[in-house]
A and B are shown apart, each in its own frame.
Chain A
Amino acid sequence: MASPGGQGSGALSTRGGVARRMKWALELSLGNTRGRGDRQSNQGDVMYPIGYSDKPVPDTSIQETDKNLVEKRCWDVALGPLKQIPMNLFIMYMSGNTISIFPIMMVCMMAWRPIQALMSMSATFKLLENSNQQWLQGLVYSVGNLLGSALAIYKCQSMGLLPTHSSDWLAFIEPPQRVEIMGGGMVL
């Protein structure tokens, strides 16, 4: 299978050379069909040896060791969010508490990723379908994500982005109604 770079250079060479003068040309040599191949790679398949397939052929034979592998893989998926937490902690520490564009972006990412993961729980459950401990893994996965979002909330709190203080509601306090009417002044 030709590398895209090689195909590109092939195309370049034809463009500079023969093809410019003719409206169309049919070439039977291998080099030039590769040149076409960059656009329509399916056509290139014709030239491969018989029995060659581009796609890997799935191994359909199920073995006993694979069960363990699936289990391991599922645990990897379930523990993924928990593993990210130390990393997030480090990022949090590094970004500091000042409000500027990069810390804000990071906080948004940190908050958004667990929420996104929690919203696509069904897809994850489908992944974990084959496992025996599907429910435990699901629980671990959601706990990890919840921890992640809690961490994001904590970060928001420490950055002062959460309306938890009375000062955050100051703008909504209405001026008090006055009961007495008063006026007067110096004697004219």
Chain B
Amino acid sequence: MALSATVSQKKHVKRKAPRGFLRRLFKRQKPHLRLETRGDVLVHLNCLLFIHRLAEEARINACESKCGIIKKDHVVAAAKVILKKSRA
């Protein structure tokens, strides 16, 4: 009952988290560490938020340069800012 059964019609989740991918990634990076069950979902959430911020920043850069397209340099500039922010 805790995990209520999904509706029969809709058994797939929209925007499913690549849990397997994340677990594999973490294992490859830190084989001596373990990741909890819900940890990878939160990691996914973290990635989502990161991507979100990155996209926002890139869009702002593109708009500032008055480009209709997001170009690589926009993305690079945005990444610099965001990564720095994330580290702190």
Are chains A and B native binding partners rather than an unrelated pairing? no
List the interface of chain B (C-beta within 8 A of A). none
Chain A residues at the B interface, C-beta cutoff of 8 Å: none
